[in-house]
Amino acid sequence: MKVQKPEGQDNQNCLVETGWTIRSGVLELLEPFFTPLRYDSNDGSLWGDGRGKTWSVPSFRTFRGLPKQTAHDLLRITPAKYLEDHQNCAPSLRDLLKSCVNSSWSVELCGYYVGPYRADERFSIDSMVVYPNRELKDLEPELHRRPLRERWEIIAEELGLPFDGHEPDEIEPIIPPWNLEHGWWIWWD
């Protein structure tokens, strides 16, 4: 079944193939990183992935702590047309996944999954945690005093992300509950 994406989506109203996140293996890769927060508006139906596995699919789940290897696997299996999606002013899904895979810094991605019960089925990255290497640790005292735009310019350059037009809403120090290491939280509303 194909459904039309809702008006206002940034995909030239492309058609979305219902269940693509299941058949492609995206749901299976994201599942270990799902948070307890769960919104279900489905009827409890099960979905088959075409490979013999059946899933009880959430209509919405958040994920966090997604590491480099999973980002690499998501880049490999996500259909190209979905990699151009982005959360509001954030860089594209492709750019964020690539930055996690290719950065010399340790990066974990966070975001949300929208299941096939909704017309806007997708997964999106709305934040990342960057863990400091020696270079970033040396910059930290000064980085924290700089305006958001300057912090973003430094971090975006190191991560190979586009700078202009993709400024996050927050860049703050954090010790995330899933990793307990000091990092920098970067979030796009």
Give 73-111 pLDDT, tens digit per residue: 999 999 999 999 988 889 999 999 999 999 988 999 999
- 144: nearest Cα among 172, 174, 185, 169: 172
Q: What is the mean pLDDT of the chain?
A: 83
- 107: nearest Cα among 13, 179, 8: 179
Q: Residue 31 belongs to what H/E stretch?
A: none
Give 10-37 pLDDT, tens digit per residue: 444 445 578 899 999 999 999 999 998 7
Total-model pTM: 0.82
Say which residue, 51 or 130, is predicted with more confidence. Answer: 130
Residue 49 and residue 28 in contact, taking contact as beta carbons nearer than 8 Å: yes
| Residue extents of the structural domains in the chain | 2-187
